[in-house]
Structure 1
Amino acid sequence: MGETLEQLLTAQEVADKLRTTPSNLYRKIKAGKFPAPIQLSIRCVRWKESDVVQWLNNLPTSVPSEADLELA
């Protein structure tokens, strides 16, 4: 009974959250660096907001230093 509806986002809304363009969003998906959307119909796809938020929360919080890169 306590279920809430999942917010579904368009490509433009996701791109805005990522501060990028829809074209770059689709490049990330093709490269396997971002979750694929849910196919609602032939020409309609959406992303679950929770998937986008989870992906953003899992981003590294700092840029590696040169010393860190030498260890890799």
Structure 2
Amino acid sequence: MTDHTKERPFLTDRETADRYRVSPSTVWRWVQAGAFPRPLKLGAGCTRWRLEDLEEFEASREVRA
């Protein structure tokens, strides 16, 4: 994860992919499979993930021992 994502409430598909160390196509595949938060369409050609949604997703996936 890059430092600037901590300051920005929205992430691009590349930033989202970098966060999980996968390719952007993998992120889109996860979305299509219903296994990942859906992005927001902010305008023509502008789709972003809310950082808050990603953090909630991560918290729901944590394994508690």
The CA RMSD over aligned residues, in Å, is 1.6
Unpaired runs of 5+ residues, structure 1, are 1-5, 63-72
Shift of residue 60, structure 1, vs aligned partner: 4.3
TM-score, scaled to structure 1: 0.71
TM-score, scaled to structure 2: 0.78
Stretches of 4+ moved more than 2 A in 1? none
Flag the structure with higher helix content: 2
Larger Rg: 1
**CA offsets 1:26-66 (integer angstroms, 9 cap, x no match):** 0000000011111011211011101001111111428xxxx
Given residue 25 of structure 1, which amino acid in structure 2 is its aligned partner? V
Aligned residue-pair number: 57
Unpaired runs of 5+ residues, structure 2, are 1-7
Percent pairwise identity: 33
